[in-house]
Amino acid sequence: MSAPVATRKVSEREARQVAEAAREQDWHRPSFAKELFLGRFRLDLIHPYPLPAPEAAARGEEFLARLREFCETSIDGARIDREARIPDETILGLKELGALGMKIDPAYGGLGLTQVYYNKALAMAGTASPAVGALLSAHQSIGVPQPVKMFGTPEQKQAFLPRCATTDISAFLLTEPDVGSDPARLATTAVPDGDDYVLDGVKLWTTNGVVADLLVVMARVPASEGHKGGITAFVVEAAAEGITVEHRNAFMGLRGIENGVTRFHQVRVPAANRIGPEGAGLKIALTTLNTGRLSLPAGCVGAAKWCLKIAREWSAAREQWGKPIAAHEAVGSKIAYIAATTFALEAVLDLSSQMADEERNDIRIEAALAKLYGSEAACRIADELVQIRGGRGFETADSLAARGERAVPAEQMLRDLRINRIFEGSTEIMHLLIAREAVDAHLSVAGDLIDPDASLGDKARAGAKAGGFYAKWLPKLVAGPGQLPNSYAEFDGLAPHLRYVERSARKLARSTFYAMSRWQGRMETKQNFLARVVDIGAELFAMSAACVRAQHLGAGDHGPEARQLADAFCRQARVRTDELFDRLWTNTDSADRALTKAVLGGATEWLEAGIVDPSRDGPWIAEAEPGPSNTANVHRPVH
């Protein structure tokens, strides 16, 4: 067997090629968000607001009732944060409740909940303890159940899904000490050896890895005779010989999360445990994440709802200058933002989840937008709650209780939510990922035209193809229903917002086309421009979801309130969107790049004078050479 290497050096082009190969290349179903970025407002894809089937709703509501009782009686969020560990009895109770198998088909012992109700359950559990929500989410959204359900053989499903539904916790292992969002540099190897593969390498930030029974591991198979090779997915028994959990990581928030460093040394994995063919690992991971990413905005929705509750109750009770603080505009505007945004976040989550359940739309962009928008908005909401609470927002719940006040863990919520802007694709990576999907139609017809390495013949063919596409597409961006005063009249007072979305979608498409024409092959380097394009699309998607949800709720008991919330959100979102449009072309990007270069060149080191650095000595990135472990194994499965 060839010796594994600890670090792979790859070029920028190779890294892009690996990422591109992992993408789903085709669009077999319609996508509301994809159409939005192309300037086409396909309201018919989301309106009427889709709803779960009655039997699915009944099954989901029954479980939510049982989960609520468990959360209220058996989850002590303060204790989990204080002790930095979910008690074993709580984990065992979750297993008995069936919470490990929420998304697993009843044929394999699971509950068979829809994505809609799975997310509602995560939102509820996450408010009791975000660490519990993270444990359940990592197990089912990206752990063994989802990839095996989607890509596993019948034998693998029968072998692993019943265990995951009832007794076994799973984890997903991709990240390495020197590999994050650039998987081309993945160093963990899986070398074929007879009917097995032999794994060597080190994985970092293995959520659930400390307590896991089963692992999904991404490793590089060397190309050889009879083996295509490439990054490949495996189901691995966590107790297998040669696996060592070397460290349990500690964080500023989510203190109960069981996240560690896992070393593989000559670990034998049966070839029968390989998920999909060799080289399909990244594609499996990204496809799994299409719906798996919805678990993060689920937690964000739960957090936003709790922040709204606390802000409402506190702001009515606390008085300053003769009236409740909510009556002061400076505080009232924060409450209005929290309420309106919470309504929109839930609309985006439920809409995306129901579309995932129905499988009639491609939701890869919608799920990514929900994750991006939800994680950013929830962090701001929690920060605003801390501000509304003042000094009490900065004070811990235990300290508040010790001096006789209500133990409100606002500061903990802020700490716990912060990771969501990094988990499962940082905000910066999500911007790039969504931007790549958003411009897919352009690259499919004009990619060779702007590729500096394409031949003249390829460029000529791409030019002819692009000319035909743009001759039909560009004229449709000039005018549309958004300019007609009676468009979307059935939405009454919300109709102006939908007309704004339609006009803005065309404007966004024109802006993207102009940028591609201007920068061509350099477009991918304009990351701030692409981020603003994505943020505009996210606001338009959220506005659309909020209006459609309010229209659906209009005939119910809370119809007027839903319309008020949607209207307020759209007004706020329009201000943000107009600012983003302005910043597409009026910004400080060039000056910022120049200053960054100066900083990295040492030109501003003098500015750092007058401080002490409390950091301790050590390398920026820990060594991760393959080989046997020399530390104690802190793996502790809960049974």
Catalytic residues: 424
Task: With beta carbons less than 8 A apart as the criterion, state whether 216 and 170 touch.
Answer: yes
Helix (H) or strand (E) holding 2: none
Q: Are strands 274-275 and 230-237 parallel, antiparallel or unpaired?
A: antiparallel
Angle at 390 between CA 386 and CA 392, to 5 degrees: 85
In degrees and rounded to multiples of 5, residue 262 shows phi and psi of: -120, 130
Angle at 130 between CA 288 and CA 348, to 5 degrees: 55
Task: With beta carbons less than 8 A apart as the criterion, state whether 512 and 442 touch.
Answer: yes
Angle at 43 between CA 41 and CA 47, to 5 degrees: 165
Task: With beta carbons less than 8 A apart as the criterion, state whether 540 and 375 touch.
Answer: no
Residue 265, SS3? strand
Task: With beta carbons less than 8 A apart as the criterion, state whether 178 and 235 touch.
Answer: no
Helix (H) or strand (E) holding 308: helix 295-317
Helix (H) or strand (E) holding 275: strand 274-275
Q: Report the distance separating Cα 48 and Cα 52, nearest Å.
A: 13
Residues 6+ apart with CB under 8 A from 275: 147, 148, 151, 152, 156, 216, 233, 234, 235, 281, 284
* End-to-end CA gap in the chain: 37
**What does the DSSP 8-state code read for residue 199?**
E
Peptide bond into 48 cis (omega under 30): yes
Instruction: Dihedral sign for Cα 406, 411, 415, 421, please.
Output: positive
Q: Report the distance separating Cα 326 and Cα 312, nearest Å.
A: 8
The count of residues in the chain is 639
Q: Report the distance separating Cα 12 and Cα 236, nearest Å.
A: 31
Q: Are strands 189-193 and 230-237 parallel, antiparallel or unpaired?
A: unpaired
Region for residue 50 given its phi and psi (left: phi exceeds 0; alpha: psi -120 to 50; beta: otherwise):
beta
Longest dimension (CA), the chain: 81
Tell me the Cα Rg of the chain: 25
Q: Report the distance separating Cα 19 and Cα 183, nearest Å.
A: 7
Alpha carbon dihedral 277, 279, 283, 284, in 10-degree steps, equals 40
Angle at which helices 54-74 and 115-128 cross, to 10°: 10
